[in-house]
Amino acid sequence: MNLIIDIGNSFVKLAVFQGNELVVKKNIKPDVIVKHIDILRKEYNNIEKAIISSVGKLKEKDLAYLKKNFDLIELNSKTTVPFVNLYETPNTLGLDRIALVSASMKHFPNNNVLIIDAGTCITYDFVTANNDYLGGAISPGISMRYKSLHNLTANLPLLEKEIPENIIGNSTNSSIHSGVINGVLKEIDGNIETYQQKYSDLTIILTGGDANFLSKQLKSSIFANSNFLLEGLNYILQFNSN
């Protein structure tokens, strides 16, 4: 069994895989990571291998614990991955993006794939049917757009995301919802359309915390998978174990 550790901006995602099957996943605070891993080790006593993403955010004593108890991979730009990385600055490529592209290799090998991760940022990552990763784009996520309108202006309120009822906002709140949500949807649909004009046989994956919120509102046919990043990390672990 494999232990997957993905350290995000606010939470740590823990997951246990049996082969390709996701057995359990948890969202926890970073300061209790060892406690929850110990619980998982007791429940699943045959966890031997582990992979960790964003290792720089982990306390030294927690990292030492992981190295002692698991055959550990600390994901970085030099880790062997199942695709050809043609990014001009590979050392700056986010570990989450590396994991997402790896997941596309597992599920859609030899396909043109566009992976859209709608989280804190919205990232676009494109890999060709030759398994060459070319890059993509990064833009502000939904929450970041709401916060920037509030933080960088004098009077605009901070709102929670909400599907706008109309393209024409008839109040400040509805105008903000229309601007943020319709802006994101038009951005995503526009990017997809641009890629499809060049790659007609395009597979589109939508993942991230806002994937379910957005998936039903997008025009394009997509695969929504909220566990895509975890599956990618597991595949990197498998790929380096063979």
| Active-site residue, 125 included | no
Is residue 95 marked as binding? yes
167 vs 177: CA distance, rounded Å: 9
Is residue 6 marked as binding? yes
Is residue 221 marked as binding? no
Is residue 9 marked as binding? yes
Is residue 56 marked as binding? no
| Helix, strand and coil in the chain, % to nearest 5 | 40, 25, 35
The catalytic residue among 62, 96, 125, 210 is 96
Is residue 120 marked as binding? yes
Burial of 33 per CB tally in 10 Å (0-12, 13-18, 19+): buried
122 vs 137: CA distance, rounded Å: 8
- List C-alpha distances in Å: 220 to 176, 178, 193: 24, 20, 8
- List C-alpha distances in Å: 82 to 43, 75, 91, 142: 31, 13, 17, 31
Is residue 55 marked as binding? no
Is residue 190 marked as binding? no
Is residue 226 marked as binding? no
Active site residues: 96
Binding-site positions for substrate? 87, 94-97, 172
Binding-site positions for ATP? 6-13, 120
